[in-house]
Amino acid sequence: MLFYSSRALSHLSRPVGLARFLNYRKISNAPQIAEEVAKLLELKAQLNNEDATNGPHKFILKTAKGTRDYPPQQMVIRQKVLDKVVAVFKRHGAEAIDTPVFELKEVLMGKYGEDSKLIYDLKDQGGEMLSLRYDLTVPFARYLAMNKITNIKRYHIAKVYRRDNPSITRGRYREFYQCDFDIAGAYDPMIPDAECVKIVQEILDSLNIGSYIIKLNHRLLLDGMFEACGVPNDKFRSICSAVDKLDKSPWQEVKKEMIEEKGLMEAVADRIGEYVSLSGKSELVEKLLKDEKLSKNKTAVEGLEAMKLVLKYCDLYNTSSNVVFDLSLARGLDYYTGIIYEAVLLGDPAEGSEVSVGSVAGGGRYDNLVGMFDPKKKQVPCVGVSIGIERIFSVIETKLIAAKEKVRTTEVEVYVASAQKNLSEERMKLCNELWKEGFKVEHSYKRNPKLLAQLQYCEEQGIPLVLILGESELERGVVKIREVTSRVETEIERNKLVEELQNRLGQ
């Protein structure tokens, strides 16, 4: 409600406009305001429709708010990054699935807490009520329940949609890729969980995007700790959301939120404050297992024992050096039930201190989500990780721009040029021969292009070889090969051309 109202304000030229409007119509209570806002929205929609039918050229030429096109320069980088990510998923035996971009609205409802207001709904056009997917986890759980799948290891790379007011300068959008790996099935504790952490390590190492840490925590430990500190049961989730903000806000602010907004007593908040400042390795687990308050709390001990086991497995999987047990890690989503983790890039030490530049992967265990979709509430335990691929793209893009590295957007190997007029058909014949042999070949779509323009194009595009056709060469049954970077030209017999090209291109 609050969300709609605040957005509706922006439709009027100045905020004061709404007040005047409401005054004029003598409206004062909230439901009436909501009703009037709805009327305004309807009028606005009608105006939009009229605009579109009367003057098709009046609209501003743009993509929808918070979205963007991906030009070839970006697509190349994205494809390379995704290839590396998929290689890791496949190395761990994952299968691919895909789901529709929209789901029945009911599938998404009650899964995202406060963030549900950010879901894009489709217009009711006389069919089902549909919404664009908000993440890949809920559709995955729906897929498992619907197909009665009790174990699978799958990855899914697709776009998701959040009607957020994103800070686009920080690389956040309303349409963005997610890149998820999940293991579903009833298995022994922490074995799949530790493999998810391993996968994060392998991906971040293979992308070579700088140093990072993977923070680990456990929902049971958080719950036990809240209980031990005296947080009322019904406030666990909201206090957890507050703790989640510690990666962006200092403790004093989070504490204020806990007391003023969430109604926690200051003494309780202070107790939480002491715990969430802790981070370490397995020695911290041991210390906490002896902690006066936590050792008496069954839930906390269960969480700590799980942490102990996962840290042992991290030793076996050689991820310990990247892993930190961090009690301030909470993760916002409601559906986590066990271990949670988040990978954070560290700033370049050469440029100053090692400050966090943001999360690039995160996930955890969610054992109760699939059951929400099953008519008999049958559970399928799951653990997974989502790679923050958009942030990784922008880190890599920034690096490439800084290094002034030029990225080729095509893979053309050979360009067929003509030195004189009226050779376009000869060019076409030669291209046809080379395509047949599997070479990546282009020529000009003009009948009589200038030779200089053709050569310039090859240099700009980074095409390695040019074949230059001329009348005298055609008569003599030869063709001129030019190496673009060195500009060295050689003549070769036409019937030896394919072999020569294969050699030069190292095929």
Q: Which is nearer to a copy of itself, 140 or 226 (CB)?
A: 140
Report the site for a copy of itself in 79-118 (rule: CB under 8 A).
Answer: 79, 90-107, 109-110
Q: Is 99 annotated as a binding residue?
A: no
Query: Of the candidates 17, 72, 232, 250, which one interacts with a copy of itself according to CB under 8 A?
Result: 72
Tell me, residue by residue from 295 to 334, as one string, x for binding to a copy of itself by CB under 8 A and - for no binding: ------------------x--xxx----------------
* DSSP alpha helix (H) spans, 25-65: 30-54
Q: Which residues pair with 280 in a beta bridge?
A: 325
183 sits near a copy of itself (criterion: CB under 8 A): yes
Q: Does 441 bind a copy of itself (CB under 8 A)?
A: yes
How many residues form the binding site for a copy of itself (CB under 8 A)?
109
61 binds a copy of itself (CB under 8 A): yes
Smallest separation (angstroms) from a copy of itself to the CB of 245: 26
Provide the minimum distance between the beta carbon of 32 and a copy of itself in the complex, in angstroms, as a whole number.
17
How far is the C-alpha of 434 from the C-alpha of 432, rounded, in Å? 5
Rounded to 10°, the helix 266-276/219-229 angle is 140
- Count of other CB atoms within 10 angstroms of residue 52: 11
129 sits near a copy of itself (criterion: CB under 8 A):
yes
CB of residue 151 vs a copy of itself: minimum separation in angstroms?
9
**Residue numbers 237-296 binding a copy of itself by CB under 8 A:** none
Map the footprint of a copy of itself across residues 333-372, applying CB under 8 A. 372
Report the alpha-carbon angle 280-286-287, nearest 5.
75
3-state DSSP call for residue 381?
A: coil
Closest by alpha carbon to 362, among 331, 336, 321? 331
276/243 Cα distance (integer angstroms): 8
Site for a copy of itself in 451-470 (CB under 8 A): none
Closest CB 110 distance from a copy of itself, rounded Å: 6
From the CB of 136, what's the least distance to a copy of itself, in Å? 12
Alpha-carbon span 237 to 336, nearest angstrom: 11
Contacts 24+ apart (CB under 8 A), 290-294: 293/228, 293/229, 294/224, 294/225, 294/228
Q: How far is it, in rounded angstroms, from Cα 309 to Cα 169?
A: 41
Calpha distance 127→108 (Å, rounded): 17
Does residue 121 belong to the site contacting a copy of itself (CB under 8 A)?
yes
Q: Which of residues 365-424 bind a copy of itself (CB under 8 A)?
A: 372-373, 375, 409-412, 424
Nearer to a copy of itself, 143 or 336 (CB): 143
Residue 122 φ then ψ, to 5°: -85, 155
**477 and 494 Cβ atoms separated by less than 8 Å:** yes
- Is residue 373 within 8 Å of residue 364, measured between CB atoms? no
Classify burial at 305, counting beta carbons within 10 Å of its beta carbon; exposed 0-12, middle 13-18, buried 19 or more: middle
Smallest distance from a copy of itself to CB 277, Å: 33
Rule CB under 8 A: say whether 45 interacts with a copy of itself: yes
Taking the complex as a whole, the smallest distance from the CB of residue 355 to a copy of itself amounts, in Å, to 30
Residues 150-169 that bind a copy of itself (CB under 8 A): 152, 154, 159, 161, 163
Binder among 36, 84, 150, 185 for a copy of itself (CB under 8 A):
185
Annotated binding site: 135-137, 162, 178, 182, 331, 335-336
Annotated binding site for L-histidine: 135-137, 162, 178, 182, 331, 335-336
